[in-house]
Amino acid sequence: MLAERIRGLEGDLLDVGTGCGIQAIAAKKAKAVGVDVNELAVLNAKKNAETNKSGARFFVSDLFSDLDGTFDFIVFNPPYLPTTEEEKLAEPENRAYDGGGSGRELIDRFLSEFPPFLKDGGELYLLLSGLSDNGESAERLRGMGFSSEIASRKHVGLFEELRVITAWRE
């Protein structure tokens, strides 16, 4: 869903929590950079970019910790699943899906850190689950001076709805 929304974007794009690199690679017209806290994910993303003849660049960063500059687009597919202690996996695999008890642990941290990295006129693309977000992110963005809309949605299984939220400064 997220890759489809950003496929035609042109400009400087940051894919946070890049994982395999699919968002950065899908944005073929953008000058894409992908970051992930997991070194193995970054190595995998680099190989995928090479295989797909993508100019996307990838490196290790814990969200924005090792970044400078601003971007026209910031994309984030966070770990959004509410996770109990019993459901946790060994690191580094656990970071890919563990959203904490409410599923919002990394989402909330991301929302507090991203604004200085988004250019004026830039857009945020965020994939969220109804299991961990029923308007909380839109409300928080509104309080930070951003407008947002649900750009797409998809039902997954019986109880979950995934949503791509687009946000921009008012």
Is the pTM higher than 0.75? The answer reads yes
HSE-CB at 66 with a 13 A cutoff on CA atoms is 12
Domain limits, the chain = 2-169
Q: Which fold has domain 2-169?
A: Rossmann fold (3.40.50)
The closest of 19, 24, 62 to 40, measured between CA atoms, is 19
**pLDDT, position 99:** 59
Token pair listed for 11: 């400009």
At residue 134, what is the residue type?
N
**pLDDT, position 122:** 98
- For 83-123, give the DSSP string: --GGG--STTGGGGTB--SSS-HHHHHHHHHSGGGEEEEEE
Q: Is the pLDDT confidence value at 91 over 90?
A: no
Higher pLDDT, 98 or 108: 108
pLDDT per position as a tens digit, 53-69: 999 999 999 999 999 99
